Structure 1
Amino acid sequence: MDNTNQRKALINSEIALFLRGLIIGKVLTIIVIGGLLWWFLKPNLPRTSVNSSTAQNGKSVSNYVSNNNESNNGSTFQTVADVPPDSFNYGGSTAWASIRQLVDSQIQSDRPELQLHYVNPVNGSPGSSSGIRMLLDGKIDFAQSSRPLTGEEQATAKERGFTLEQRLVGRDGIAVVVNPSLNVPGLTVDQLQQIYLGKITNWNQVGGPNLPITAFSQRPEDADTVIFPSNSDLKGQALGSSVQYVYSATEAVRQLSKTPGGVYYASARSVVFQCSVKALPLGQTSGQLITPYREPMVPLEQCPRQRNQLNTEAIKNGSYPMIANLFVIIKQNKGQEQQIGNAYANLLLTDQGQKAIEHAGFVGVP
C-alpha cells in the first residue's frame, strides 16, 4: 500500500513538472514571437554617422561627408549636372591643400567619371599667382586662388581672346606668425604692411623687444595671399630690400622656428595649427586686436596633443581684419576648360561641398 502511494506521489510530481515546463515553454515562445514581430514592424529610426566626431577633429572628412548625405536632403555632388567625364589638370593656391586632399577626393569618389590632377609650376613656387599664370598659358584647365584676380591678369586674358571669371566658394583668414619666443601683443594691418615695405625694422617699434625683424615672404609673382589689396594705395609697391623669400609656407615655418625675430603671413588654415610658430592677434587698430585662433591659445608644450583651432566665427562675421577669399578661376572660352571650371565650382557650392569645405578648416559662403 505504501508502494502504491509512493508511485502515485511520484507520478503526480512528474505531471506537475511537465505542466510547469509546458507553461514556461509557451511563455518563452510568446516572448520570442513578440520580439520578432517588433523587429520586423519597428519604425525606421534615423541613422547617425559614427564618423561625425572624427570629422570634427579633422581626421576623416571624407567619411563624414559621405555618411552625412544619408540624411541630407540638400544638394550633393551627385545632383550637379554637366560634369564632363574626363581627366583634367588644375593648379594654384597652396592654401587649398586640405580641400584637394579631403574634398576633391570625395568629389572623385562620388563622381568617378571625373578625374582631377594637381600640377605644380615648372618655374617658381606653387601658389595663386603661378596657378593663374598657368591657366592663362593653357597649361591647366582651371585654377584655385586665395586672392582676387588682378587687372593685369584680366588684361592678359583679354589679349589672348578670352576672359577669366572668379567664383567665390569659401573664405579663409590671413594669419601672421612669429617665433614662439617673441613677446609682442599683436600687430595692426598698417604695421604689418610697413614691416614688409621695410619701414618698420625692429620689434621695439611695435611694442616688442629690441630685436631686428626678419620678414619672410613668397615672391610677389608667386604669392598665395596678399596683404596689399587691389584698392589700396600701397598696391604695387615693392617689398623692402631685407625681405627674405621662401618657396612655401612649410619652408617659412621651418625658418621661423630658428629665427627669434622672424615674421611671416599666410593662409590662417596653413599656419594656425602649427606647433613651431605663434600666431599674432591682428587688428585695424591696436585697441581692436582679434586672434586668428580660438581663445585661449594652446600652450606650446601641449602641442601636438592639442592644437590651436581656426577662429572661424571671427572670419565668418567679418571682425577679423584680413580675409582671404577662395576663388575658382574659370577660363571663359566656351570650351571644355569653361565647362570643367563651372562644374568644379558648382560641386563646391553644393550643400555637401560647403560642409566639406568647412570641415576642411575653412568658412563657407552664404
Structure 2
Amino acid sequence: MSQKNETLSLFLAAVITIGLIFGGLWFFMGRWAQLNKPVANQSENNNPKDAISVPKPIETGKTSNTISKCDVPNLPEGTFNYGGSTTWAPIRKDVDSVLQSQCSQFILRYTQPPSGESGSGTGIRMLIDNQLAFSQSSRSVKAEENAEAKQKGFSFKEIPVAIDGIAIAVNLNLNIPGLTVAQLKDIYTGKITNWQQVGGPNLPITVYSRSKEAGGTVEFFVENILNKENFGANVSYINTTTEAVRKVAASPGGIYYASAPEVVPQCMIKSLPLGRTSGQFVPPYQEPFVPPSECPTKRNQLNTQAFRSGDYAITRNLFVIVKQNSQTDQQAGEAYANWLLTPQGQELIQKAGFVKIK
C-alpha cells in the first residue's frame, strides 16, 4: 500500500512539474509577443535611418529642380569669356553663380585684361579686340569706342540692368551736414581745400581717388561730376576702395568716392548726404543712420527709393555691353542681360547691394 502511494506521489509530482514547465513557457511566449509587437512598430515608424532617408530624396529632388531648371530663352551652350567693371564684382559673385548653377551648359569665365587694371574701359577694349564675348560696365560706351568697333565690323548695344549710386566717404568724426555736387567738384579740382569752406571745421581736406585708368567709376566721376576737368594737384591716388576706406578712416579730413554698395555699409567711415542745391541733402543710406557703435551687428542700407526716383544726386545705370555681330557672342550677351532683367535676376541684383531697374 505504501508502494502504491509512493508511485502515485511520483506521478502527481511529474504531472505538476510538466504543467509548470508548459505554463511557464506559455507565459514567457505571451510576454515575449507583447514586448516584440511595440518594438516592431517602433522599428517601422521611428527608425532614425528611415526618418532621415525618407525626406532626403524629396529634399534633393526639390533642390535639383530649382538648381537644374534652366529657363533662359536663346541661351547658347559653351564657354564665354566676360569681364570689365570692378563695380560688378558682387554681381559676379552672388548673381552669376546662380545662373551657372541653373544653366550648367552656359559657362561664364571671368577674364582679366592682358595688361593694366580691370574696369569698364578695359572690358570694352577687350570686346573690341575680340577677347570677350560680352562685358559688364558701370558707364555708357563712348563715341570713340563705338567708332572703333564699327571699324572692326560690328557695333555695341548697351543693356541697362541695375541702378547704382556714387557715395562719398568721409571720416566718422567729420561734422558736416552734406555737400552739393558743385562743392564736390570744387574739392576734387582743388578749388576747395578746407572743410571750413563748406560749413565744416577748420580742417584741411585730404582727397583720395583711384586713377583715371582704374575703371568706369572714375571715368563716370570725371565726365559727370568734374565735367571733364582734370583732378586737382591735391588728389592722392590709391589702388583700391579697400585701401581708400582705411586711409579715410585714419585721416580726419579724408574724402573718397566709390560705388554706393562699397561705401554705405562700411563701419570704419560714414557716407555723406548729397544735394543739387545747398540745404537739400539726400543721404545714400536709409534713415535713421546706423551709428558705428551698432556696426557690424547692424549696417546702413542703401537708400533704394532715392536712387530709383533720382532724388539722390549721383546715380547711374549698370550695363551689359553686347557686340552686335549676329554671332554666338551676341546671343550669349543678350541672353545673359535678359536673365538679369527677369524677376529672379532683379531680386538677386538687389540682394547683391544694387537697385532693381524694373
TM-score by length of 2: 0.77
Per-residue CA deviations over 1:297-336 (Å, capped at 9, x if unaligned) read 1111221111111111111122111112110011122222
Q: Which structure shows the bigger proportion of residues in helix conformation?
A: 2
Correspondence for 2:202: 210
Aligned partner letter, 1:141: A
175-184 or 288-297, larger mean C-alpha shift: 175-184
Alignment partner of 1:324 out of 306, 316, 322: 316
Q: Is the 8 A contact 2:267 2:299 kept in 1?
A: yes
Aligned partner letter, 2:202: N
Structure 1 unaligned spans of 5+: 1-65, 71-75
Tell whether 2:162 aligns with 1:170: yes
Correspondence for 1:115: 107
Correspondence for 1:143: 135
Distance of aligned partners of 1:204 and 1:304 in 2 relative to their CA distance in 1, 3 Å threshold: same
Per-residue CA deviations over 1:139-177 (Å, capped at 9, x if unaligned) read 222111112222222222223322111100010111011
CA distance in 1 between partners of 2:278 and 2:70 (Å): 48
* Aligned-residue CA RMSD (Å): 2.2
Mapping 1:1-366, distance limit 5 Å: 78-225=70-217, 226-229=220-223, 234-366=226-358
Q: Is the 8 A contact 2:180 2:277 kept in 1?
A: yes
CA distance in 1 between partners of 2:275 and 2:240 (Å): 25
CA distance in 2 between partners of 1:152 and 1:244 (Å): 29
Q: Is the 8 A contact 1:125 1:248 kept in 2?
A: no
Distance of aligned partners of 1:321 and 1:330 in 2 relative to their CA distance in 1, 3 Å threshold: same
Q: Is the 8 A contact 2:194 2:204 kept in 1?
A: yes
Aligned partner letter, 1:83: L
CA distance in 1 between partners of 2:194 and 2:69 (Å): 51
Aligned partner letter, 2:221: I
Distance of aligned partners of 1:247 and 1:179 in 2 relative to their CA distance in 1, 3 Å threshold: same
Per-residue CA deviations over 1:206-265 (Å, capped at 9, x if unaligned) read 1111222122112223233222446x8x53321112212222211211221222211111
SS in 1 for 2:94: helix
Distance of aligned partners of 1:159 and 1:194 in 2 relative to their CA distance in 1, 3 Å threshold: farther
CA distance in 2 between partners of 1:130 and 1:192 (Å): 27
SS in 2 for 1:356: helix
Q: Is the 8 A contact 2:210 2:239 kept in 1?
A: yes
SS in 1 for 2:250: coil
The 4+ residue runs of structure 1 with deviation greater than 6 A are: none
Q: Per-residue deviation at 1:203?
A: 1.1
Structure 2 unaligned spans of 5+: 1-62
Correspondence for 1:9: none
Q: Per-residue deviation at 1:96?
A: 1.5
SS in 2 for 1:255: helix
Distance of aligned partners of 1:122 and 1:244 in 2 relative to their CA distance in 1, 3 Å threshold: farther
153-162 or 323-332, larger mean C-alpha shift: 153-162
Q: Is the 8 A contact 1:77 1:107 kept in 2?
A: no
Aligned partner letter, 1:81: P
CA distance in 2 between partners of 1:218 and 1:171 (Å): 21
Distance of aligned partners of 1:131 and 1:248 in 2 relative to their CA distance in 1, 3 Å threshold: farther
CA distance in 1 between partners of 2:209 and 2:116 (Å): 13
CA distance in 2 between partners of 1:303 and 1:358 (Å): 21
Aligned partner letter, 2:90: S
312-321 or 121-130, larger mean C-alpha shift: 121-130
Correspondence for 2:22: none
Distance of aligned partners of 1:317 and 1:289 in 2 relative to their CA distance in 1, 3 Å threshold: same
Q: Quick check: which has more Rg, 1 or 2?
A: 2
Q: Is the 8 A contact 1:185 1:280 kept in 2?
A: yes
Q: Is the 8 A contact 2:339 2:345 kept in 1?
A: yes
Correspondence for 1:49: none
Q: Is the 8 A contact 2:117 2:213 kept in 1?
A: no
SS in 2 for 1:78: coil
